[in-house]
A and B are shown apart, each in its own frame.
Chain A
Amino acid sequence: MWRGDASGGRFVDYEVATEEGMVVLDALREIQRTQAPDLAIRWNCKAAKCGSCSAEVNGKPRLTCKTRLDELGEGPIRVEPMRAFPVVRDLVTDVSWNYEVNKKIPPFTPKPDTEWRMGQADVDRVTEFRKCIECFLCQDVCHVLRDHDLKSQYFGPRFMVRIASLEMHPLDALDRTELLAHEGGIGLCNITKCCTEVCPEHIKITDNAIIALKERVVDRLYDPLPMLGRKLRGGG
């Protein structure tokens, strides 16, 4: 397990007796209880519903509460913090950037005189996006954020999902395509689908959120007919 802080750190070996059904978080808490009382980890619900216990397990971004030891095979297990975010201590990283991004997204804005009726199918469609537990594993694995550190230019998959949940809400009246195209930086995503692969909620981030939003951006901002319309009305 990686132990350290912002100034640096190293991998330290720990040995824990395992029991049936044990998950990585169980092992971490056992280490904390018996061998390293000051081990810094985040966890809350222990049921894959709060998205607190994210880390990289054997090189893969995972929820440690959902990762069973018996699915990792034989040999030592390597646990380290999410690498796309600055380390605070041990497995705890500074994810505050994500909360700043969220503030930039205009909230749900109902149409005037909305009649509050929706079909179950509409609900099911946005439910996929609203399932997100904000574990930020998709942000961690995203090349744009992790390898190129373009946090100032791209909101990241989590917030594409958030915007999708608003844009596809049947009663929302706002158009967030300008935001997506510019400050949100949706164009930087080159749809490698790494985010979809790591999502513990099985949200099809790339196919259902990002690609759908990219299409919206193209339709609304670059489609010749509406563009002409905007020009005639004196807009951009």
Chain B
Amino acid sequence: METHEYDVIVIGAGGAGLRAAIEASVLGARTALVCKSLLGKAHTVMAEGGIAASLGNVDADDNWRTHFQDTLFGGKYLNNWRMAELHAKEAPDRVRELEHWGGVFDRTPDGRMSQRAFGGHTYRRLVHIGDRTGLELIRTLQDKGVHQGIDVFMECTVTRLLKDGDRVCGAFGYWRSTGDFVVFRAKALVLATGGIGKSYRITSNSWEYTADGHALGYEAGAQLVDMEFVQFHPTGMVWPPGVVGLLVTEAVRGEGGILRNGEGERFMERFDPKRMELSTRDVVSRAIYTEVQEGRGSPHGGVYLDVSHLPASFVKRKLPSMYDQFLGLAGVDITREPMEIGPTCHYAMGGIKVDAETGASRVPGLFATGECSGGMHGANRLGGNSLSDLLVFGKRTGEGAAEYATHASTPVVDEAQVAAGEVEMLGYLDGEGEDPYALHAELQDTMQDDVDIFRERAQLERALAKLDELQSRAANLRPTGGRVFNPGWHLCRDLQNMLVCAQAVTRAALQREESRGAHSRLDFPEYDDFWGEHNLVVERGPDGGMRVEPAPVVKVAELETLVLERMAVELA
């Protein structure tokens, strides 16, 4: 079988994976990047609004402490404090570095990087270029990586991690274009596979976001944290049907967009009069959902987001892709009429539990970064904190993996594990069974209907029962066609990952009997003191079953004053 050997293998080539691979390679590790799509197509391109970093170019008072406080307030104090601290402190350097690698961002009048306002950020903080910041970021990293000597395996899907005793030693996967199998041997592995959105019917995520890293990590023995917190972005398109869920950047509100319900009322006044449209995403999503549920929605089941009061030239310059997107896909000229928008499943706060300094999971040799890692964002992520997260922790994780690889012995791959990977993939091609697309739709309906923005016990229990049923049926999936670029076949494997992750989300949501951040329980609508001090950690138990246990929030004594100071301000 085709086999490759590296010091460090990074799985996933969005911003986090690219940044990790660059760092590992800079430090001398022989590094490869393995990704499901073509290079440069990852969902980082859909991050539109900007990169949060307290440069203070526009608001001179900004500093890492305020960024740290904003992040913790946004995450409802469940964030790993050390991660939030490192993130706030290092984001400015990571952004400047990006500029030094050729990234180009909008300017202040005196020629420095400009910064825009965003939900939950005290100061104007987001470095941006129009509304295509993510594309700028990924292209800059891609071009840096190309010349850094990283080998890239494009359209290559990893289906399982290989282990040598307790440590990971490689990965097994297939080439999408041929269906041939491939083995990667590596001293260290970095998971950077992004999100889980494809488990939901209405999502801003593409076909790729099937919880691969979450599931691969879990199955290899890593812990997951904060899985109950799934971010529903307040503003996705609601019409026409083909684009339901498609992201409408928060920059629309950052630049002055106003939310109104079907009756023309600026309803955010009732939900967060202090921050209004620029409240945190959890609050705005709940507000929109509530307006629609209570009959004050727009004709297509959303609410209105309006920038038509702003000068048309300003809108076209600051939000060019939104202008194109609405004109082209919905026939709406946003400089003249309001957009119709509603919540869409956007981001997983939860992910593999990692060491803040190095990105190491508890499995030796296994690292994680970006959306598939957890801890940084707590109960709710602030807009703009994702691009900065993947730069800061992408670099740290690349360092961690390269450092680990310098001390690790050459791993031995167990042929039996490789054979098991082959048997699984080939098994889907034999005989009769269920259509993977139909089963996927059932999974999406389950998560959308029962593990949505608002949750309650009966719904969550119903979802768990349904997930069990889907899990057993998923063992018997049969696509039509052969091995050459067959998306139906690929989906069979992706579904296994989504099912593991959906179960983790649902079980954690059931256990957290309170409402906090992105997790709202109709049967437990208030904050709870115990849960305010605990994260939920998901792991595979010794019996093979899924175990969910509370664990105290990771705090840093020196930061206590900053946190208490912010809590006091918010209570006042």
Contact = CB atoms under 8 A, between A and B. Distances in A.
A89 B132 CA distance: 31
B362 interface: no
A38 B240 contact: no
Interface string A34-52: 1001111111111111111
Interface string B323-342: 01100111100000000000
Given A45-B43, A66-B328, A19 B240 contact: yes
Contacts of B129: 123, 127, 130
Interface string A106-144: 111010000011111001001100110110000000000
B487 A66 contact: no
Contact of A21 (B106, B112, B243, B481): B243
Interface residues of B, number: 64
Contact of A41 (B42, B147, B487): B487
Contacts, number: 167
Interface string B94-108: 001001111011110
Contacts of B152: 99
A4 B241 CA distance: 30
B143 A47 contact: no
Contacts of B177: 88-89, 92, 94
Name the residue in A19, A38, A99 with the highest tally of chain B Cβ atoms < 10 Å from its Cβ. A38
B486 interface: yes
A92 B178 CA distance: 12
A89 B111 contact: no
A26 B489 CA distance: 20
Contact residues on A (Cβ < 8 Å of other chain), bracket: 35 or more
A19 B107 contact: no
A218 to B, nearest CB: 26
B441 to A, nearest CB: 8
A43 B45 contact: no
Contact of A123 (B39, B106, B482): B106
Interface in A1-60: 5, 19-23, 25-26, 32-34, 37-52
A21 B240 contact: yes
A117 B112 contact: yes
Contact of A130 (B104, B206, B207, B239): B104
B479 A52 contact: no
Nearest to A51: B41
Interface string B31-59: 00000011111110110000000000000
Nearest to B147: A107
Contacts of B100: 110, 116
Contacts of A181: none
Interface in B463-507: 479-482, 484-489
Contacts of B240: 19-22
A40 B487 contact: yes
Given A43-B206, A45-B206, A49-B135, A118 B146 contact: no
B46 A45 contact: yes
Given A5-B484, A33-B437, A40-B485, A22 B242 contact: yes
A43 B481 CA distance: 20
A21 B330 CA distance: 7
A157 B347 CA distance: 35
A226 to B, nearest CB: 26
Contact of A127 (B42, B130, B243): B130
A166 interface: yes
Contacts of A83: none
A116 B247 CA distance: 32
A52 B107 contact: no
B233 to A, nearest CB: 13
A126 B104 contact: yes
Given A47-B46, A123-B129, A102 B41 contact: no
Contacts of B422: none
A43 B207 contact: yes
A205 to B, nearest CB: 17
Given A52-B37, A89-B484, A37 B206 contact: no
Interface in B317-368: 321, 324-325, 328-331
B487 A39 contact: yes
B383 interface: no
A113 B240 CA distance: 51
B102 A44 contact: no
A80 to B, nearest CB: 16
B140 to A, nearest CB: 8
B41 A107 contact: no
Name the residue in A19, A45, A102, A106 with the highest tally of chain B Cβ atoms < 10 Å from its Cβ. A45
A148 interface: no
A49 B246 CA distance: 12
Contact of A47 (B239, B247, B331): B247
B187 interface: no
A38 B101 contact: no
A77 to B, nearest CB: 15
Given A40-B485, A127-B129, A133-B135, A50 B147 contact: no
Nearest to A40: B485
A50 B243 CA distance: 15
A20 B238 CA distance: 13
A21 B239 contact: yes
A90 B146 contact: no
A37 B434 CA distance: 12
Contacts of B130: 127
Given A20-B240, A92-B177, A119 B111 contact: yes
B139 interface: yes
Contacts of A50: 40-41, 45-46, 206
A231 interface: no
B144 A107 contact: yes
B208 A44 contact: yes
11 contacts: A22-B241, A37-B480, A38-B486, A44-B208, A48-B328, A49-B132, A52-B38, A103-B146, A107-B144, A123-B104, A130-B136
Given A37-B480, A45-B45, 14 more contacts: A22-B240, A37-B435, A42-B37, A43-B206, A45-B43, A50-B40, A52-B37, A88-B177, A88-B485, A103-B147, A116-B100, A127-B129, A130-B104, A169-B104
A-B interface, 3 closest residue pairs, ranked by CB to CB distance from nearest:
A21-B240, A38-B481, A108-B102
Interface of B: 37-43, 45-46, 96, 99-102, 104-107, 110-112, 129-130, 132, 135-136, 139, 143-144, 146-147, 152, 154, 177, 206-208, 239-243, 246-247, 321, 324-325, 328-331, 435-437, 479-482, 484-489
